Amino acid sequence: MNDADWPLRWLRERLGYAPRDAQLFRAALTHRSAAGPNNERLEFLGDAVLNLIVARDLFARFPAANEGDLSRLRACLVSAEPLAEVAAALHLGAVLQLGAGELKSGGSRRRSILADGFEALCGALFLDGGLEVVTALVTRLLAPRIAALPPLQSLKDAKTRLQEYLQSRSIALPLYSVERVEGEPHAQTFEVGCEVGGLGLRGHGRGSSRRRAEQAAAEQILARLQADDARD
Average pLDDT over residues 25-51: 94
Active site residues: 47, 119
Q: Which CATH number fits the domain that encloses residue 71?
A: 1.10.1520.10
Indicate if the pLDDT at residue 35 is higher than 90.
no
Q: Round the average pLDDT of the chain to a whole number and report it.
A: 91
Q: In terms of residue numbers, what domain contains 224?
A: 156-231
Give the burial class of 153: count Cβ atoms within 10 A of its Cβ; 0-12 exposed, 13-18 middle, 19 or more buried. Answer: exposed
Domain match, 174 and 104 both = no
Domain match, 108 and 218 both = no
Domain match, 106 and 206 both = no
Report the DSSP beta bridge partners of residue 205.
Answer: 192
Indicate if the pLDDT at residue 3 is higher than 70.
no
- Residues of the chain with pLDDT > 70, as a percent, come to 97
Average pLDDT over residues 81-97: 93
Domain match, 174 and 121 both = no
Give the burial class of 196: count Cβ atoms within 10 A of its Cβ; 0-12 exposed, 13-18 middle, 19 or more buried. Answer: buried
User: Would you state the pLDDT for residue 152?
Assistant: 77
Average pLDDT over residues 131-158: 89
User: Would you state the pLDDT for residue 193?
Assistant: 95
Inter-residue contact 39 to 31 (CB < 8 Å) = yes
Total tally of structural domains belonging to the chain:
2
Q: Which CATH number fits the domain that encloses residue 213?
A: 3.30.160.20
H/E segment holding residue 204:
strand 201-207
Indicate if the pLDDT at residue 225 is higher than 80.
yes
User: Would you state the pLDDT for residue 218?
Assistant: 94
Q: pLDDT (tens digit, 9 = 90+) per residue, 171-213?
A: 999 999 999 999 988 889 999 999 999 899 999 999 999 999 9
Question: For the chain, first and last CA: distance in Å?
Answer: 70
Average pLDDT over residues 164-168: 91
Average pLDDT over residues 100-121: 90
Q: How confident is the model at residue 43 (pLDDT cuts 50, 70, 90)?
A: very high
User: Would you state the pLDDT for residue 72?
Assistant: 86
